[in-house]
Amino acid sequence: MLQKIYDWIDDRVDITPIWRDIADHEVPEHVNPAHHFSAFVYCFGGLTFFVVVIQILSGMFLTMYYVPDIENAWRSVYYLQTEVAHGQIVRGMHHWGASVVIVMLLLHTLRVFFQGAYKKPRELNWMVGVLLFFVMLGLGFTGYLLPWDNKAYFATQVGLEIAEQVPFIGVQLKTLLAGDASIVGAQTLTRFFAIHVFFLPAALFGLLAAHFILIRRQGISGPL
Amino acid sequence: MHKGKGMKFVGDSRISAERKPNASKDYSEYPGRTEAFWPNFLLKEWLAGSVFLVGFLCLTLAHPSPLEGVADPTDSAYIPLPDWYFLFLYELLKYEFAAGPYIIMGILVLPGIAFGALLLAPFLDNGPGRRPHQRPIAVTMMLLGLASVIWLTYTSAENVNWEERAEANKPIPPTEVEIDTEHPGYAIYENSCMSCHGGSLEGTAGPTLVGIDYTAEEIAQIAVDGIGTMPADQFTGTDEELEQLAEFIVTVNEEAK
């Protein structure tokens, strides 16, 4: 039965080559912890992606309750935290995941760096990876404001003051982020929400796709 | 890719009518003990992922995510602090060579050099050797950068009393309590307590009186003897007034539940 459904789809979409490209590839001995336990360092990248998936899923559920508006943002988070079934766990996953993803990302970067795995022909993938790191820091910065509590508000204000001190484009940069040259308020919150939920994830998905396609093309770097 | 004459298509589409075998490649000729990702390795990866997920969920359950009181832009006493992974940048700006007139150094030049070098590492470190001892400069730079980030983060976090911060910024439940100003205790509250505990018991200099867990007798005793940093003898009046005051605060708390 399943085979028939598969064949029916395959007849129309020619899915086998796609499926083989995604799933069928080799795992060399030197990256397999079953053969060499020290190869667990190769897990950091995969675990980073795993946490990113957790972030995406928990974030999707958070937006079911979250209201990006200065009157209700904090109230909606408080409600989620205290009244909604499992709301505390979902927000907890998103909150701690944001820290864990930075830790895993750092470990993954250090593994690649100290193994010199970014050398020819993998220079481009390293750069995509560093851009992913920047996007992740941007997600951390914008997400920090969203609960609209005191630490969020004042940390964002400091961040925006720093952006303002950039020569020549400082004020424009701050206005772009905050929606106003001097007020950190309703506009700032909606902008940070849009950046956190639409702009940066879009960049994240594009860069992740490039990262994975390049890995599949080039294969994992060989043993040292 | 099949080329040339004799190609067959599905209908008028460009999909080849020839069925390709959907079978795993044979990795036995690859050097070393190569394994197929699907399904052998994925199963093990799945197990490792589950262990990781369980650990992560334990962290989440053991430490509920913090939430401070609602943002109050007029709170000038609040000391801002970024999330921990920005602390090193924040701490950098406290150094003389990266602050004041040299702020450009702290916000653009130094982070720019560090992150720029990270981005362009493959081109700066372009020798053929991959082992760390074959590229001492790159490895030393990375270790120095890493050490300074860890040091900056540590010095920044060390001076913060996290528990005190969390305690001072606890969220106040957003229940709007009806204050019964007709209550005989309210007038007494107005005289003795309002200057510190606020017009609707929300707390100003003193803490909020909504959501406290005291009996009327305990409240009366605190009003007379003080508690913590609250000095004694804040209440001046008769015993009957004291009783009314305590009863008033208890009624407000009962309503807020």
pLDDT digits (tens, 9 = 90+) for A51-107: 999 999 999 999 999 999 999 999 999 999 999 999 999 999 999 999 999 999 999
Q: In this complex, do B20 and A17 lie within 8 Å of one another by their Cβ atoms?
A: yes
Q: How confident is the model at residue A115 (pLDDT cuts 50, 70, 90)?
A: very high
In this prediction, residue B3 carries a pLDDT of 67
Q: List Cβ neighbours of B252 (8 Å cut-off, separation of 6 or more).
A: B177, B179, B180, B201, B209, B210
User: Which CATH number is B203's domain given?
Assistant: 1.10.760.10
- B136 contacts chain A (CB < 8 A): no
Confidence (pLDDT) at A149: 93
pLDDT at B174: 66
Query: So what's the pLDDT on residue B225?
Result: 83
Q: Is the pLDDT of residue B175 over 80?
A: no
Q: Is A116 left (phi over 0), alpha (psi -120 to 50) or beta?
A: left
Tell me the pLDDT of chain B averaged across its residues. Answer: 86
What is residue A152's predicted lDDT score, i.e. its pLDDT? Answer: 94
From the CA of B148, how many Å to the nearest CA of chain A?
15
Among the candidates B139, B168, B197, a domain finishes at B168
CB B248 within 8 A of CB B178: no
B209 touches B199 (CB < 8 A): no
B118 has a chain A CB within 8 A of its CB = yes
Nearest-angstrom CA–CA distance, B145 and B111: 11
Contact B85 A29 (CB under 8 A): no
Lowest-confidence pick of A23-37, A112-126, A190-204:
A23-37
Mean per-residue pLDDT, B55-66: 94
What pLDDT is stored for residue B33 in this prediction? 87
What pTM does this model have?
0.83
pLDDT at residue B205 above 80?
Answer: no
Same domain for B122 and B157? yes
Among A3, A57, A112, A119, the residue to mutate for chain B (most B Cβ within 10 A): A119
Same domain, B247 and B192: yes
ipTM of the predicted structure? 0.91
Residue B144 lies in a domain: yes
Counting residues of chain A whose pLDDT is more than 70, the rounded percentage is 100
Q: Which of A9-13, B208-212, B220-224 has the lowest mean pLDDT?
A: B208-212
Q: Which domain, by its residues, includes B148?
A: 84-168
- In degrees, rounded to 5, the angle at the alpha carbon of residue B18 between the alpha carbons of residues B15 and B20 is 100
Q: How far is A41 from chain B (nearest CA, A)?
A: 13
Longest dimension (CA), chain B: 109
Q: Count of CB atoms within 10 A of residue B218's CB? A: 14
**Domain co-membership, B98 together with B158:** yes
B145 and B99 in a common domain:
yes
Number of folded domains that form chain B: 2
Whether the predicted pLDDT of A124 surpasses 70:
yes
Q: Is it the case that residue A204 has pLDDT exceeding 90?
A: yes
**Mean pLDDT score, A139-161:** 95
Task: Output the six-digit token pair for A128.
Answer: 């995509």
β-strands A26-27, B35-36 pairing: antiparallel
Dihedral over alpha carbons B166, B169, B170, B171 (to 10 degrees): -140
Contact A35, B36 (CB under 8 A): no
Is pLDDT above 60 for A12? yes
* Token pair 């409240």: residue: B219
Find the mean pLDDT for residues B120-143: 95
Residue B122 forms contact with A (CB below 8 Å): yes
pLDDT one-digit tens code per residue, A25-40: 889 999 999 899 999 9
Cα–Cα nearest to A27, from B139, B188, B33: B33
pLDDT at B164 over 80: yes
Average pLDDT over residues B60-77: 90
User: What distance in Å separates residue A195's CA from the closest CA in chain B?
Assistant: 18
Does A30 contact chain B (CB < 8 Å)? yes
Please say if the pLDDT value at position A138 is more than 80: yes
Percent with pLDDT over 70 in chain B: 96
Give me the pLDDT at residue B188, please: 83
pLDDT at B20 over 90: no
Per-residue pLDDT at A107: 97
CATH class of the A23-218 domain in this structure: mainly alpha
Question: What's at A65, amino acid-wise?
Answer: Y
Q: Does B9 reside within a domain? A: no
Beta bridge partners of B70: A149
- The interface residues of chain A toward chain B in range 82-111, judged by CB-CB distance below 8 A, are 82, 88-89, 91-100, 102, 110
**Domain positions in chain A:** 23-218
AA letter at B128: P
Q: Is the pLDDT of residue B23 over 80?
A: no
| Amino acid present at B257 | K
